[in-house]
Amino acid sequence: MRTLIYVSALLFSGALLYAPYTYAGDAVTTMANIVIGFKHFPSDADKAALAAITDGDSSDAVKSVAGAIANISHKVTDADKTTLEAIIADDDASAPLRELAAIVSSLNHMPSADAVVSLEGLASR
């Protein structure tokens, strides 16, 4: 019985340590899925999902990308583009987040076919 308690405690502790990385990945996955279906501006449902990310426990960089996507009207605003370029250049940001930021910063009305392929890769992680 003690062994079962010990193993359970180890598994639970491991899950707690892994959780922040899972949630950060989920935000990138959610944003990638939103951009895949993007047509000129985010839908109300997309804006609600993006608001959940910006109001959540994600990093400032993740929140900035979510905010930039929420603000899109045909293309990214100049202020958001500057923020996205800083994230793209930030080696401390995850590679998937930098890739998403690059796609979003170059978005014009909807993602290109090449961008959709990249976004599908990000969404499947």
Going from N- to C-terminal start, the domains of the chain cover 23-123
pLDDT at position 124 is 87
User: What is the spatial distance between Cα 8 and Cα 12, in angstroms, rounded to a whole number?
Assistant: 6
Write down the pLDDT at residue 86: 97
What's the confidence (pLDDT) of residue 107? 92
Pick the more confident residue, 3 or 44: 44
Residue 108's DSSP bridge partners are 75, 110
**pLDDT higher than 70, residue 15:** no
What is the per-residue pLDDT for 90? 95
Q: What is the pLDDT of residue 25?
A: 59
Q: Which residue has the higher pLDDT, 6 or 52?
A: 52
Residue-wise pLDDT for 54-94, tens only, equals 998 889 999 999 999 999 999 999 999 999 999 999 999 99
Question: How confident is the model at residue 14, as a pLDDT?
Answer: 42
Q: What is the pLDDT of residues 26-56, one digit of tens each?
A: 999 999 999 998 888 899 999 999 999 999 8
Task: State mean pLDDT over 93-98.
Answer: 95
